[in-house]
């Protein structure tokens, strides 16, 4: 699922962990991926994908569906 790694400062990771815990995410990584996806979509545009397509991609990324 996470084929590449991204190094971040310990302080930022601690903040990600707190946010993930309080928002109900299963891990800081899941929270970070969600935040990054939202920001990339905001900057580059959603590409015209439907909500269903977006949800399907997220579920695939999380390993829930193939």
Digit-coded pLDDT (tens) for 6-35: 899 999 999 999 999 999 999 999 999 999
Instruction: Report the C-alpha gap between 37 and 47 in whole angstroms.
Output: 13
Tell me, yes or no, whether 2 lies in a domain. Answer: no
Tell me, yes or no, whether 4 lies in a domain. Answer: no
In the prediction, which pLDDT does 22 show?
94
Residue 1 has pLDDT above 60, yes or no: no
Tell me, yes or no, whether 22 lies in a domain. Answer: yes
Tell me which of 10 and 5 has the higher pLDDT.
10
Q: Domain of 50?
A: 10-61
Instruction: Report the C-alpha gap between 40 and 43 in whole angstroms.
Output: 5
pTM of the model: 0.63
Digit-coded pLDDT (tens) for 35-52: 998 888 887 776 666 778
Angle (nearest 5°) at CA 48 between 44 and 50: 125
């Amino acid at each position: 699922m996470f084929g590449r790694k991204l190094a971040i400062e310990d302080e930022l990771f601690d903040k990600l962990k707190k946010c993930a815990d309080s928002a109900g995410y299963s891990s800081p990584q899941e929270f970070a991926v969600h935040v990054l996806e939202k920001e990339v979509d905001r900057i580059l545009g959603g590409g015209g994908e439907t909500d269903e397509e977006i949800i399907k991609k997220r579920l695939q990324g999380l390993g829930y569906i193939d």
